[in-house]
Amino acid sequence: MDVLSAASQGPIPYWTVAWPAGLGLARVLAREDLRGMRILEVGAGVGVSGLGAAVGGAEVLVTDNVPAALRVAVMNARRNALHVRAAAADWRHWPFRPDARFDRIIGSDVTYEPAAFDALLTVMQESLKPGGDIWLTDPGRIMTSAFQQRALAEGWCWSTATLPHEGRQAVFLYTFRRRNEKE
Ligand SMILES: C[S@@+](CC[C@H](N)C(=O)[O-])C[C@H]1O[C@@H](n2cnc3c(N)ncnc32)[C@H](O)[C@@H]1O
């Protein structure tokens, strides 16, 4: 990241880094039995978490607003003998009709840009099946609590779990559900 931010002109290409929160989420998903589940990954970058879900047996759609990221994600899947589908999709101009077809939505390190929170929450609301859940990870970013407050106002609740460190980075898993579906 130090090299990237010094060398980048324009927006920093965050997608080029496999973030610790993504590695942590991938490890958890890879240990789950996800056969029969349809999973949407938002802000996938190079697709590490989505690949973890594919290891668990899920049918995975990885999305990002940077097409180059998805090309790398698909290449990563091929090299690991996994299958994922990939589609360029920006939360602010979501290209899919609202059809609530995913059992789970996953995303790692995607709650850092407040201007995008409402759009991301709309994608969550429209893409998740009734009874589904959303697994987001991050290293404990301050901005994530602002995202959670927006989510709370939109009818979501969440629980937090601490995952093993990735190198020196802490990783937190936030599991969101619609409040009226809370068990
Ligand atoms: C910090 S990176 C995390 C990448 C990956 N999830 C990981 O953990 O390695 C954030 C990702 O979100 C994507 N992103 C940011 N804003 C987005 C938007 N409005 N729509 C879709 N993707 C977006 C970026 O392109 C980038 O790949």
pLDDT 10s digits, 110-154: 999 999 999 999 999 999 999 999 999 999 999 999 999 999 999
Structure tokens at 117: 């929170």
CA 128 – CA 130 distance, rounded (Å): 7
116 alpha carbon to ligand 1 midpoint, in Å?
11
Closest residue (by CA) to atom 14 of ligand 1?
A: 43
Helices (H) and strands (E) in the chain, counts: 6, 7
Q: Is residue 2 part of a domain?
A: no
- Specify the CATH number for the domain of residue 72: 3.40.50.150
Distances 93 to 56, 97, 127, 134, 143 between C-alpha atoms, Å: 30, 11, 14, 20, 22
113 alpha carbon to ligand 1 midpoint, in Å?
10
Q: Is residue 128 part of a domain?
A: yes
Q: Is residue 1 part of a domain?
A: no
pLDDT of residue 55: 98
CA 51 – CA 48 distance, rounded (Å): 5
Closest residue (by CA) to atom 20 of ligand 1?
A: 90
| pTM for this predicted structure | 0.95
User: SS3 for 157?
Assistant: strand
Number of structural domains, the chain? 1
pLDDT of residue 91: 97
Closest residue (by CA) to atom 15 of ligand 1?
A: 43
Express each pLDDT in 24-78 by its tens digit: 999 999 999 999 999 999 999 999 999 999 999 999 999 999 999 999 999 999 9
Domain span at residue 92 reads 19-181
Beta carbon of 20 within 6 Å of any ligand 1 atom: no
